[in-house]
Structure 1
Amino acid sequence: MTLLPYDRYCDEILVQTDALRAALAGADLAVTVPTCPDWTLRELAVHLGGAHRWVGEIVRTRAAEDVAEERVPGFGGPDGEGPAALDAWLAEGAACAVAALRDAGPDAGVWTWAWERRTAFWARRMTHETVVHRADAALAAKAPYTVAPEIAADTIEEWLRIVSFAQESGDPEAAELRGGGRSLHLHATDVPGAEWLIEFGEDRFTWRHAHEKATVALRGPLTELMLVLNRRLEPGGGQAEVLGDARLLDYWLERSSFG
């Protein structure tokens, strides 16, 4: 699968943020987020809104190195404690980040923590950061959650690339995702062609789009596959089913958690 257009990522940051804001409307912001138990729903929202502002500042200033949080205007949250202040702050942060991304275009050179140093990385990263944390918010607020198929598929693609980068960079957990002869198949039942075969080589893992027998398969709706891979849904916790050696799927999930 190919990357989505840069403008689509910019649009989607706003779409996903608006959907998250809708999930927060009327919710108890003090409730614990089940998938991020160290955070309340409000703290989750502040984390995401701070990330939007941080990336916006990196892109706006064309930063060549990491930008400290204390240098990001409004990073710590809204001035007011009420839900209306939080909602406005979230909307403003996403809008400012997207404005900076649109102004810069996809190829501007900026600092990133990853494999490419240009603004296109941040547009994609903030899209999927928002997609996944919107799932956290929806679960905590007991709100509905749907994602367009192409966004769910790209969230999976990006996460595989992040885990691969972690392995290449020497992350001790990701380093264990190897060992020849084992494989993990992700098979979406509702989107034709949305399949991934993750193969454990002697030194590292690789992935490709294929429909082949594997050591273990996770089969179900595409959005559920994305949520399981991002550890937002337990394997078998929805409509998705695990076929084969479930221990290998658990092994993958435990070693792609990064703490």
Structure 2
Amino acid sequence: MTSLSHDRHCAEIVAQTDLLRATIEGADLTVPVPSCPGWNVGQLLRHLGGGQRWAAKTVRSRAAEPVADQDFRDLAAYTHEDPAVLGPWLAEGAAALAEALREAGPDAALWTPVTGGTATFYARRFTHETALHRADATLALGADYVLDHEVAADALDEWMELGALPMHFEVHPRMRELLGPGRTVHLHATDVADAEWVLDLTGDTITWRRTHEKAAVALRGPLVELLLVTYKRRTPAEADVEILGDADLLAFWLDRVSFG
């Protein structure tokens, strides 16, 4: 269950893209992106903008099956991008996606790659796809990354929901190795009230809950730092966080999680 409204997600897709455009203005887009190995900033932005356009096409057509579109995963052709060209292109794609989502409404039925089957999936997913790829570009360019706390908390909720889907055990069999007795991970935001998550790996599946409780290992720090560590945009050593308890379990969990 998302904590942000459909309208808020639509607005954030545009807002996060605008913040990204401001970050890249006049920047060298050939700078490598450490969190996306093999890509530079320009390639990363082509991937993001292409994904937004693909999602807009999916939503507009109320697709009942995956929509074919230009592949923005093979980015060899985008090694020397110009921010003066990419900025407006990104804005156009974000606006088109937000418009398609608003016109569809949150409950419009269409194909989604995981359970859900409504436009809500794309509104939420591309809010956080945009916010996290903004982090990739911002950190690669050596700038400070700031994210609204409501958006960051919703991003962690979504990460927990999607990351706990049983389908991951089929796609990434190594994730089954996470399961075992006594294996619990607590994320505790120190700058936002009631922003705590417990990931429970003790059963046959991965489960999670929003709560404050003792766990085998706790990761404490500012909410956005927790988000960046969970998404593997920063290591715990790089982030402003504190580890309490079984640090090896935390490292094992971060090694095995694959979503995002």
- 2:131 and 2:191 map into 1 onto residues whose CA distance is 19
| Residue in 2 that maps onto 1:160 | 160
Deviation at 1:121, TM superposition (A): 0.6
| Residue in 1 that maps onto 2:212 | 211
| Residue in 1 that maps onto 2:229 | 228
Contact map agreement 1:55 1:122 (CA 8 A) in 2: yes
What does the per-residue CA deviation read over 1:124-174, in whole Å, with 9 as the maximum and x for residues that have no partner? 000000111010000111122111111111111111111111556623133
Deviation at 1:2, TM superposition (A): 4.9
| Residue in 1 that maps onto 2:253 | 252
- 2:185 and 2:133 map into 1 onto residues whose CA distance is 25
Letter of the 1:182 counterpart: R
Letter of the 1:137 counterpart: A
| Equivalence map 1:87-102=2 (5 Å) | 87-102=87-102
Letter of the 1:193 counterpart: D
| Equivalence map 1:1-259=2 (5 Å) | 2-70=2-70, 81-165=81-165, 167=167, 170-171=170-171, 172-257=173-258
Deviation at 1:56, TM superposition (A): 0.2
Q: 1:29 to 1:81 in 2, by over 3 A?
A: closer
Q: 1:3 to 1:107 in 2, by over 3 A?
A: same
**How many positions carry a matched residue from both structures?**
256
Letter of the 1:176 counterpart: E
Contact map agreement 1:110 1:117 (CA 8 A) in 2: yes
Contact map agreement 1:105 1:119 (CA 8 A) in 2: yes
What does the per-residue CA deviation read over 1:3-58, in whole Å, with 9 as the maximum and x for residues that have no partner? 21100000000110011111111211011001112101000000000000000000
Percent identity over the alignment is 52
Contact map agreement 2:31 2:41 (CA 8 A) in 1: yes
SS in 2 for 1:210: coil
User: Which range is displaced more, 8-17 or 198-207?
Assistant: 198-207
Structure 1 residue runs of 5 or longer lacking an equivalent are none
Contact map agreement 1:46 1:77 (CA 8 A) in 2: no
Q: 1:247 to 1:140 in 2, by over 3 A?
A: same
Contact map agreement 1:220 1:240 (CA 8 A) in 2: yes
Q: 1:98 to 1:2 in 2, by over 3 A?
A: closer
Deviation at 1:211, TM superposition (A): 1.5
- 1:71 and 1:231 map into 2 onto residues whose CA distance is 24
Contact map agreement 1:166 1:174 (CA 8 A) in 2: no
Structure 2 residue runs of 5 or longer lacking an equivalent are none
SS in 1 for 2:18: helix
RMSD: 2.2
Contact map agreement 1:10 1:127 (CA 8 A) in 2: yes
- 1:14 and 1:202 map into 2 onto residues whose CA distance is 40
Q: 1:40 to 1:197 in 2, by over 3 A?
A: same
Deviation at 1:236, TM superposition (A): 3.1
Contact map agreement 1:228 1:235 (CA 8 A) in 2: yes
TM-score (norm 1): 0.93
SS in 2 for 1:173: helix
- 1:258 and 1:51 map into 2 onto residues whose CA distance is 16
- 1:219 and 1:258 map into 2 onto residues whose CA distance is 21
